[in-house]
């Protein structure tokens, strides 16, 4: 993988603030609040369908591809679970 390729991929952790999709289309547009900024991204295919199952306000770690630069495309995500109030050990 060239240095140019790695510059196009970024990971962010933030809270899903809004989501938009058409029921009969496998694409989802969403906004994520991360470190005081709002980031808009799109997802396609099975990933887009999986995003729709997230609860409102979920915190996710998203892997984004910014090529083409006019639209961030989510290529993977994981749900970040809060550990507050959960005993350890």
Q: What's the pTM?
A: 0.77
Q: 6: part of which helix (H) or strand (E)?
A: helix 3-7
* All domains of the chain in start order, with CATH: 3-79 (2.40.50.140)
Contact 12, 32 (CB under 8 A): yes
Cα 48 from Cα 51, distance rounded (Å) = 5
Retrieve residue 23's tokens.
């029921």
Residues 6 or more apart whose Cβ sits within 8 Å of residue 59: 13, 14, 15, 16, 79, 80, 82
* 32-79 residue pLDDT tens: 999 999 999 999 999 999 999 998 899 999 999 987 667 899 999 999
The mean per-residue pLDDT over the stretch 18-23 comes to 94
């Amino acid at each position: 993988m060239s240095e140019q390729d790695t510059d196009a991929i970024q990971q962010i952790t933030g809270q899903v603030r809004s989501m938009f999709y058409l029921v009969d289309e496998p694409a989802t547009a969403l906004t994520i609040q991360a470190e005081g900024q709002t980031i808009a991204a799109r997802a396609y295919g099975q990933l887009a369908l999986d995003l729709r199952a997230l609860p409102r306000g979920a915190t996710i770690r998203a892997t984004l591809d910014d090529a083409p630069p006019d639209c961030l495309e989510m290529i993977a995500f994981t749900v970040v679970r809060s550990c507050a109030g959960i005993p350890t050990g």
